Amino acid sequence: MKYKKLWTDMHSNIHHDQMEALPLWYEQIKKEMDFWPIAYYPFYMRPTSSGLAVEDRYEDELIEKDWEQVRQLALQAEKEGFPMFMGYEWQGAGLDGDHNVFFLENGEKQEHPMRYQELVEAYKGKPVIGIPHHVAYQLGSRGKNWETHDEKFSPFAEIYSSHGCSENDDGPLMMNRHVHMGPRTGETTYEKGLEHGYKVGIIASGDNHSVPGVFEHGSMCVLAEDCTKESIWDAMQHRRTYGVSQSRIEVDYTVNGIPMGGEVETDGEVKLKLQVKGTGAVDRVEIVRDNILEEMIVHSGTWERKEQKGMIRFKFRLELGWGPDTRVYKDQWLKEWQGRLEVDGKILGIEKCWNNYGQEITQTAENACDFYITTYQSTATGKWMGPSNVTTEGFIFEIEADADSTMRLTIDGKEYPVVVRDLLNSTKVFALWDEVKRLTKETWGDITHYRDDPWWHNAYKIRLNKAYPSESYELEATRKIQMKTDGNIRLRIWQKNGDAAWTSPVFITVKKKG
């Protein structure tokens, strides 16, 4: 069966003091995602008599009031035909790890026992799942306790988010943003769950606390028959899920015809088929068997020498942002951009690379896209441990055009023409010189300097990232793998720009002879 790829942020933590913004969150997620499992956050920093604040759960009465507001939105979404799942974050005593609990139906209530086993028991027999996240923190201090895991209640785990990557303890994507949680350790990683013998799938999602669907914090994809709550729920229960660190790398992957998350029985040999469509040049695909690299399919070096001529398909990312140092220009924390991209060909696809509110595609045509973008000189999380202030907004475009044609990017009324062949060769950066010179003069008067630091360092900038032809981001492969014992096989995909994708494993049972 050919499944639809449906995308979401499965870790949008809205707090009690943000409930007035719930409609804003809802409108934002509908612009970006195909469905939404919201994760209400029932915790706050409670002051103690000593003055030290500790994280604790709000009173039940207040939580129930917020929960009803979430329920009413879910009912509204249902009427509008947008799949929304009610959910909340459970932490308990911190001994089993943090989990987001989601419901197929809208009538359930929150349970807050101290231990994970009690949480599982509280929802026994009901359509409820509890998804562990940031699993690789210290055991006993909110890291995942695999000894108490229930694979039916928790069919997959979130291994990448704003916290970083919990897949293992020696991978390149570190967990060093949330200083208070400490460094990642080895005994609680996702791979340890597989070593325990659990059938547990994979997702990535934001752990976003002020804006849902933050591009830079990852998202998840489910392979579902259609975009209904029931089909999405079925996909999640059967682990037909995968995660990406940023951009929407498309992955189709089967073992003996069974898709990711499934189970296969074999006499010893399995046939693996994969198809990847990246958002930029794919560097390599890693076939991982039982947490060990089985084979690396290196794609870099297979396409670069091909001459690009005539009509071609290609992708590139447009980024808008940067801008004045707010220590120097204290009121320059927001900029609104009016833009248009026009090509001598066709725009085949547009991916939204959005990290904050205020973004719109205002009009599209076969050969053009008009947009409105708002960039901010602040973090996307609103928290002290959030990402750096360099947060851009933009799009990934897939274009069909002649390799020697010119694309016309217009920003705030000024045109920036770019020849496709030039962009295939190198990234292009443009500064809004007129704007920064005017700002400098209005703020500081006529100044001179022997280099352009005062202007360049404070200029808003446009980056058209290097374009990549379709040969660079599309690949297919078939492999046969010998299995002597039961195990699992999954994929890890890396692009040249550092973006990654992780698929849920296929779980394999080897028939015993005789």
CB 496 within 8 A of CB 280: yes
Q: Given this model, what pLDDT does residue 179 score?
A: 86
Q: Are 258 and 506 in contact (CB under 8 A)?
A: yes
CB of 160 within 8 A of CB of 177? no
pLDDT under 50 in the chain at which residues?
382, 384-386
**Beta-bridge partner residues of 208:** 12
Provide the token pair at 25.
């969150």
DSSP states along 284-308: EEEEEETTEEEEEEE-TTSSTTS--
Distance CA 115, CA 137 (A): 17
**Of 427, 387, 479, residue with least CA distance to 177:** 387
- This prediction's pTM: 0.96
Contact predicate 251/242, CB 8 Å: yes
Between CA 369 and CA 361 the distance in angstroms is 7
Rounded Cα distance, 362 and 37, in Å: 27
In the prediction, which pLDDT does 388 show? 53
Task: Identify the CA nearest to 389 among candidates 436, 330, 431, 326.
Answer: 326
Return d(Cα 441, Cα 159) in angstroms, integer: 48
Contacts by 384-391, CB closer than 8 A, 24 or more apart: 385/177, 385/178, 385/179, 385/180, 386/162, 386/177, 387/162, 387/177, 387/216, 387/217, 389/326, 390/321, 390/322, 391/216, 391/321, 391/355, 391/356
Place of tokens 């409670």: 46
Residue 83 carries which side chain, given as an amino acid letter?
Answer: P
Is residue 148 a contact partner of residue 135, using CB atoms and an 8 Å limit? no
State how far the Cα of 164 lies from the Cα of 146, in Å rounded to an integer.
19
Termini Cα distance of the chain:
33
Residues 297/477, Cβ–Cβ less than 8 Å:
yes
User: What pLDDT sits at residue 398?
Assistant: 98
Q: Which of 222, 188, 211 is nearest to 95 (CA)?
A: 188
Quick one: pLDDT at residue 385? Answer: 46
Task: Convert the pLDDT of each residue in 291-346 to its tens digit.
Answer: 999 999 999 999 999 999 999 999 999 999 999 988 899 999 999 999 999 999 99
pLDDT value, residue 49: 94
pLDDT in tens, 356-367: 999 999 999 999
Q: What is the pLDDT of residues 370-410, one digit of tens each?
A: 999 999 986 555 454 445 556 899 999 999 999 999 999 99
DSSP code for 3: P
**Which residue's structure tokens are 């933590």?**
13
What pLDDT shows up at residue 113?
98
How far apart are alpha carbons 76 and 82 in whole angstroms?
Answer: 9
> 162 and 219 in contact (C-beta within 8 Å)?
no
